[in-house]
Structure 1
Amino acid sequence: MKDKLTLVYTTDLHGFLVADRYLTDQKSSHGLIQAASLIKRIRREEKEVIFFDNGDTLSGSLISLRCGEDMRYSNPMVNALNELECAFSVVGNHEFDFGRKYLDKAVDQSQFPWLAANLVKNRGGNPAFGPAWHIQTTENGKQVAFIGLSTPETADLAHEDAIKGLTFQNPIETLAPILKELKKLEVDLIVVSYHGSYDSKIPFWSQETPEDLDIESKICQKYPEIDVFITGHTHGLLSNREINGVHTIQAACYGHYLGRIDISWGDEGLKIESENIPVKGQRLEKNLLESSRRVLESTVEWLDEPIGEALDDFSFSSSREALMYPSRLMSLVHMVMQNASDCDISAAAFWKLDGWKTGTITRRTILNLVPDNYLHVLLMDGKTLRKALEQSLSFFECDDSGNVDPGSKIYTYDIWSGVYYKADLSRKVGRRITELTYMGSPVSDEQELKVAFYHFRTNGALGYEMLQDAKLVWKSKKTMRDYLLDFMKKHYELSVPVEFNWKLLCGEEVL
C-alpha cells in the first residue's frame, strides 16, 4: 500500500488576483482566483493536498498598485491565500516594492508563516520573518519539511530603505545547518522552496523549456538529500526534471500555471512526478471573487480617475507601426526616464501597445504604459552598447523575400533614445546596425556612456548577457510608474514631440 501526498503551489503571482484585463471587461485568463478553482478541484480528487506559495506575491498588478497607494485595505492576495489554507509563502524580492510597512502589514494579516531562511536580521542573525523551516505531518504520519529561501539578488533589486537592517545570506551556506538538523529529526521528505532560479540560463518568461536543456543548480549539486527543489523568480516553465537526483519544477508566473507535485512512498521507495497545469479556461472561484469585490471596484474607480489632458495624438494605427517607427508614446517614456535619471541614453520596451488619442488621460492609461520597475543606469562602452542594441534588433525577422515581421514578445525589444541609429534588417542578426552616432559623432568601441534601463533588463536575461559586464552607477528610489505619474502632475496638458532618432531598412528600402 502506498502513502500519497500532492503538493500544489503558485509562484510569482505578482499581485494578480485576477488578470488586469478583468478590471476593464470582466474577463480573466490567469491569476490566483482562477488558480483557486484548480486547487479546490485537486483537493476534492486527492486524499491529501498541501498548497503553498513561492513568493513575489504582493506586487506587480494594477490591484497591488491600488493597495500600495491606499493601505487602508487588507491585502487581497493574503486574504485569498488565507481562505485557500496556504501552508506558507516564501518572501520574494518584489515583496519589498511598496516598503517594509506594507510588507509587515501583509505578514501580520497572514494566517500562515512567511519563510526565508537566508533573510536574517543584522542584529542577532535570526531569520527576519520567523522560523527557517516549516514541518507538516501528513495523515499517515509522514513528516514533510519545507525550507523557504529568498534570492540574494534582492539586496540589489529592492530599494535600500525597504531592506534596511536585513542581510541576504548565501542560500548554500544557509542550508547546511538546517539540513543537518532535519537529518536528526528523520523527516520523510525535504522540500526546498526557493524564490530564486537555476545556475544555468533557462528561457526567461518562456512557455516551454527544451527537454534537452541542461538545468544546473549548485544547491542540488551540494545537497542531493533534498527531495524536491521548487523554484521561481525567473518566470520559466519546466517540470518533471531532475538535477543530481533532486526533483525540480518551476511554474511560470502571474498565475498562468499551477505547479503540481505528486509524491508516493511504496515498496519501491519514493516516487515523485510533477506537472504545470494551465489556469486559462478555469472559472473564477466564486467565493474568492465575491470576497474581493470591494477592492476590485475601488481599483476600477481609482484607475478611471482623470489625471491629464492629451493635446497630441498618442495612438497607433497598428502594433506594427508602434514597433517599427518612432512614436510619440515611446518619446514620452524616454523623456520621463531621462528626466528621472542622470543618463546619456535610455532604452525602453513597450509594456502594452495601448496608445491614446487627444482628450482625457486616466490613471489606467498611464499605468498600462510601463512596468512597475525601478530604473538602473549602466556605464558601458560603445562595444557593449552596440551588442545590446543588436540584441534589441534581433526582435525582427526578415524572410528571403524581404518581408519583415516583428516578434511577439515585445518585452524583449528595446527602443533607444539619445543615440541615432539605422539598421538593415535584411542582414544577419548581430550585424544589422549600419549607423550609430551620439551627439553627431560615431560611437567608438571605447567610448563610455551612461544608459538607463528598466531594472528587469539589467540582470542579463533574454539574451542581454552583455549588460552584466557593465557597471551599475545609479538605481532609482521610485519605480517607472511613479516617475510617470509625477511627470503627469507637472504636465496635466500633455504635449510631446516625436524623437525621430532611428530608422529601419530592408536592403536599401526604408521600411
Structure 2
Amino acid sequence: MTAKFNRRDFLGTAAGAGLIALHPFSARAAGNQAHLRIMETTDLHVHVFPYDYYSDRPVDTVGLARTTAHINAIRAEATNSMLVDNGDFLQGNPMGDYIAYERGMKEGDLHPIIAAMNTVGFDASTLGNHEFNYGLDFLMKALAKADFPVVSANVVKEMAANPRGDKTLLPPYVILDREVTDGAGQTHTIKVGLIGFVPPQIMNWDRRHLEGNVNARDIVEAARAHVPEMKEKGADIIIALSHSGIGSAEYTPGMENASVPLAAVDGIDALMTGHSHLVFPSPTFAGYAAVDAEKGLIHGKPATMGGYWGSHLGVIDLMLEKDGDEWRVVTNAVETRPIYKRNEDRSITALVESDQRVLDSVAQEHEATLAYVRRAVGKTDAPLYSYFALVADDPSVQIVSIAQEWYVEQMLKGTEYEGLPILSAAAPFKAGGRGGPDYYTDVAVGDVAIKNVADLYLYPNTARAVLVTGQQVKDWLERSAGIFNQIEPGKADQVLLNPSFPSYNFDVIDGVEYEIDLSQPSKYDTKGALINPDANRIVNLTFNGAPLDLAAKFVIATNNYRAGGGGDFPGADGSTIILTAPDTNRDVIVRYIVEQGTISPSADANWKFAAMPGTSVLFDTGPKAAAYADKVKGVKIAPAGDGPDGFARFRIDL
C-alpha cells in the first residue's frame, strides 16, 4: 500500500523542515544559478561575551557569541554562504585593554578575539581604524594567528606612483575559490574577490604609531586601481569590505565615510560597511543621495552595516547566474538580524542565546578581564561624587572635562586647529531624578577601578571636538542654564530645579569662568528653542581672567551626542565638528587615569550662582550627600529636611 501525506504531515517531517528552512533564493535557483549568502560582522571591538565589563554585569545587547547563533542559522538556510568581518575587532572594551596593557602579545600568542573568530569560522576580514590603537607590532602579532586572510588596500608601507605598485601593510585583496551548488545540484568553483579599506584618518588618530611607518591612501583611489586588477586575475564577483560609513555621495579625496562613492566604482558587486556603529538598511539613511535605505542599496548595489559590538548580523543574498564562463549578480536581497529587541518600556529582550563553543574559546581571558576591571588602574586623592553636580562645580564632572581636554589637545596636534584654546563640556549623568535617591556617582578616596568609570560616564559616547565662537560658548551655557527655574530676589526657599530638564543636558564648560543669574528668565526652553532672546543668565563670563571675546574662536571637547545636535545646543548641530575621534569618552577617562596614576578631581568652582541677597532656594538630592555638603566650593549648602521618595532636601543661600 502506498503511504499518503497531507501538507501538515509533510511539514512535520525532518525532510520538510529542512526544505522549508532554505532561503527562497536557494529554493528557486535554476540549473545555471547559485545562491550565495554573505554575512557580515563589524565593529566587534573585542565583544565576545554578552557582558558589560564597565558595569560588571551580563547584558543581552552585545557579543559575538550571540551573533553566532544567527550565523549558524543562516548557514543552515543557504546552500552556499560566506562570513566576513569588517574591522574594528581588536580594541574597544576592557578585554582588549587587558590583553594590550597587561598580558601583552608575544610571538605565537592567540588574541581572544582572534580565537573567537577562528572558532566561528570567518572567511576573511579587513582592518578598522582601531586595529592600530596598540601599535603595528601588536597588530601583526595578533593577526599572525588568524585562520582567515585579513586584507587592506589603502594602508601602505611604500607608496608608488600608481596604487597598483604600492607595498601594502597587508594584502590589498584576496581571491577565494569557493564551491557553490546550483539549483540542479551541480557544484561549481566561483572566485570571490574581497578587498578592504580603512579611513585614511588613521594617520591623524594614531599618528604616534603610524607616522614614519605607513601611509594611508584615499579609499576610492585605491579601489579604482585594485578592483580592475582583481578582475584581471579572475575574480567572478567582488565584495568591498569598507570600514567606512555611509555618507555623502559627492566624492572628495580623503573622505572618512566614503562608502557611497566607493559603491560607484565599476566592478564592485556588493559592499560591507561599518565604522559608524549604525544599521543598514534602516530609516537612518532615508534621503541620502544614491542610497536606498529600505532595500539596502547604494548606487544600486547591495550593501549592509551590521551595527556594532555584535548587535546585528548584516546579510547580503546574491542570486548568481552563469553566463558562458562568467558569473554575474542577477538579483539580491539585504537584511540585518539583531540579537535583541528593545521594548516599549525600554527593557531588553534577548532574541538568541550564546554559542557555547565561542564562549569556551575565550573563557580564560574573560575571567582575567573581570579581575582586571575590578582592580585599580589609578587612585583619586579626592572623592568623586555627583550629589551636588546640578548646583555647584562638581568633581565627577570635572574629571571628565579634564580628561576630554587632555585627549583633544593630543588629537589636534599637527592639525590647523593646534594652538586654539580648548574648552571642555561635560554633564552629570547620574544625578538622581527618575533614577531615584541612590542614583549618584560616589567613589571614595583611594583606588579607582575601570568599572568605576561607568559611574563617571554612563554612555558609550565617542569623543568629539567642535569649533565655535565666543558667542556660541555663551549661548551654549545659556542653554544649559535652562535647568534652573527663574528665582524671585528676596524670597526664601524657592524650588531651584526644573524637573523636566534632563541632567545630561546640563553642560558645565571648563576653561572659562562664569556666574548664573537666576533672576533672569531662561533664554531657551527645555527642548532648546529660543524663547527669551534678550535674557542673559550667564554673567561675568571670562577667559584667562579677561572678559570672553565673543568673536574669538574656541574648541570645545565634547561627545558625539552633543556635537551632532543632541540637546539642540548653539554651536553644536553637526556642522561645527572638527574632530571625530575614534575613542569612546570612557576609554579617554581610563587612559587619563592610567597616565596620571593619581588624579586630583577637586572642583575648581569655575562657575557659581550670582549673588542674590536675602534669597534662598531648595533642591533634592541623595541622602548620602550630607557627608559632603560642607565641602562644596563656591556655594553655601545646608540640610533642609527630607524630600519625597527617599531624597534629602538641601537649602542654598544665594
Give the counterpart letter for 1:382 in structure 2. G
Once residues 25 and 122 of structure 1 are traced to their aligned partners in structure 2, the CA distance between those partners, rounded to angstroms, is 46
Q: Residues 26-37 of structure 1: matches in 2 within 5 Å?
A: 26-37=58-69
TM-score (norm 2): 0.63
- From 524, 535, 538, the counterpart of 1:435: 538
Once residues 352 and 138 of structure 1 are traced to their aligned partners in structure 2, the CA distance between those partners, rounded to angstroms, is 53
- From 247, 260, 264, the counterpart of 2:319: 264
CA drift at 1:265: 2.5
Tell me the residue number matched to 1:3.
Answer: 34
Tell me the residue number matched to 2:214.
Answer: 166
Using a 3 Å threshold, how does the CA distance of structure 1 residues 362 and 245 change in structure 2: closer, same or farther? same
Once residues 7 and 105 of structure 1 are traced to their aligned partners in structure 2, the CA distance between those partners, rounded to angstroms, is 28
CA drift at 1:298: 1.0
Contact 2:393 2:603 in 1 (8 A): no
C-alpha offsets along residues 109-162 of structure 1, whole Å, 9 cap, x if unaligned? Answer: 212222111111136622211243433423232322211111112222223323
Using a 3 Å threshold, how does the CA distance of structure 1 residues 448 and 103 change in structure 2: closer, same or farther? same
Tell me the residue number matched to 1:358.
Answer: 444
Contact 1:21 1:27 in 2 (8 A): yes
- From 467, 482, 488, the counterpart of 2:576: 467
Tell me the residue number matched to 1:238.
Answer: 280
Using a 3 Å threshold, how does the CA distance of structure 1 residues 315 and 38 change in structure 2: closer, same or farther? farther
Using a 3 Å threshold, how does the CA distance of structure 1 residues 510 and 148 change in structure 2: closer, same or farther? farther
Once residues 386 and 360 of structure 1 are traced to their aligned partners in structure 2, the CA distance between those partners, rounded to angstroms, is 36
Tell me the residue number matched to 2:607.
Answer: 501
Percent sequence identity over matched residues? 20
Once residues 350 and 157 of structure 1 are traced to their aligned partners in structure 2, the CA distance between those partners, rounded to angstroms, is 25
Q: Residues 308-347 of structure 1: matches in 2 within 5 Å?
A: 313-316=383-386, 326-337=393-404, 341=409, 344-347=421-424
CA drift at 1:21: 2.1
Tell me the residue number matched to 2:290.
Answer: none
Using a 3 Å threshold, how does the CA distance of structure 1 residues 269 and 444 change in structure 2: closer, same or farther? same
CA drift at 1:64: 0.7
Root-mean-square deviation over aligned CA pairs: 4.1
Determine whether 1:71 maps to 2:99.
Answer: no
Once residues 406 and 579 of structure 2 are traced to their aligned partners in structure 1, the CA distance between those partners, rounded to angstroms, is 22
Q: Residues 396-407 of structure 1: matches in 2 within 5 Å?
A: 404-406=500-502
Partner SS for 2:576? helix
Using a 3 Å threshold, how does the CA distance of structure 1 residues 307 and 479 change in structure 2: closer, same or farther? closer
CA drift at 1:501: 2.3
Using a 3 Å threshold, how does the CA distance of structure 1 residues 216 and 194 change in structure 2: closer, same or farther? closer
Q: Residues 85-104 of structure 1: matches in 2 within 5 Å?
A: 85-104=121-140
Bigger Cα displacement from structure 2, 424-433 vs 248-257: 424-433
Using a 3 Å threshold, how does the CA distance of structure 1 residues 360 and 155 change in structure 2: closer, same or farther? same
CA drift at 1:416: 2.1
Using a 3 Å threshold, how does the CA distance of structure 1 residues 26 and 449 change in structure 2: closer, same or farther? closer
Tell me the residue number matched to 1:206.
Answer: none
Using a 3 Å threshold, how does the CA distance of structure 1 residues 460 and 406 change in structure 2: closer, same or farther? closer
- From 135, 147, 151, the counterpart of 1:111: 147
CA drift at 1:179: 2.4
Tell me the residue number matched to 1:490.
Answer: 598
Q: Can you give the 5+ residue segments of structure 2 that lack an aligned partner in the other structure?
A: 1-29, 161-165, 181-187, 250-257, 282-294, 323-327, 341-349, 410-418, 431-439, 486-497, 517-521, 567-571, 582-586, 610-616, 620-654
C-alpha offsets along residues 34-93 of structure 1, whole Å, 9 cap, x if unaligned? Answer: 112221222233222211100111111011111111215631111111112211111111
C-alpha offsets along residues 164-187 of structure 1, whole Å, 9 cap, x if unaligned? Answer: 321111121111232222333554
Give the counterpart letter for 1:497 in structure 2. A
Structure showing greater Rg:
2
Aligned length: 474
Using a 3 Å threshold, how does the CA distance of structure 1 residues 434 and 18 change in structure 2: closer, same or farther? farther
Tell me the residue number matched to 1:81.
Answer: 117
C-alpha offsets along residues 332-362 of structure 1, whole Å, 9 cap, x if unaligned? Answer: 2224455675885532456974722435534
Partner SS for 1:83? helix
Determine whether 1:61 maps to 2:166.
Answer: no
C-alpha offsets along residues 359-418 of structure 1, whole Å, 9 cap, x if unaligned? Answer: 55342234434599998877753255467768x85999x9xxx762439xx6x9864212
Q: Can you give the 5+ residue segments of structure 1 that lack an aligned partner in the other structure?
A: 202-214, 473-477, 504-508
- From 199, 216, 219, the counterpart of 2:262: 219
Using a 3 Å threshold, how does the CA distance of structure 1 residues 238 and 372 change in structure 2: closer, same or farther? closer
C-alpha offsets along residues 470-501 of structure 1, whole Å, 9 cap, x if unaligned? Answer: 999xxxxx9542222233x234xx66236462
Tell me the residue number matched to 2:641.
Answer: none
CA drift at 1:316: 4.5
Using a 3 Å threshold, how does the CA distance of structure 1 residues 243 and 495 change in structure 2: closer, same or farther? closer
Tell me the residue number matched to 1:417.
Answer: 510
Tell me the residue number matched to 1:447.
Answer: 552
Partner SS for 1:109? coil
Once residues 350 and 283 of structure 1 are traced to their aligned partners in structure 2, the CA distance between those partners, rounded to angstroms, is 36
Tell me the residue number matched to 1:126.
Answer: 167
Using a 3 Å threshold, how does the CA distance of structure 1 residues 154 and 469 change in structure 2: closer, same or farther? closer
Using a 3 Å threshold, how does the CA distance of structure 1 residues 307 and 76 change in structure 2: closer, same or farther? closer
- From 229, 246, 250, the counterpart of 1:198: 246
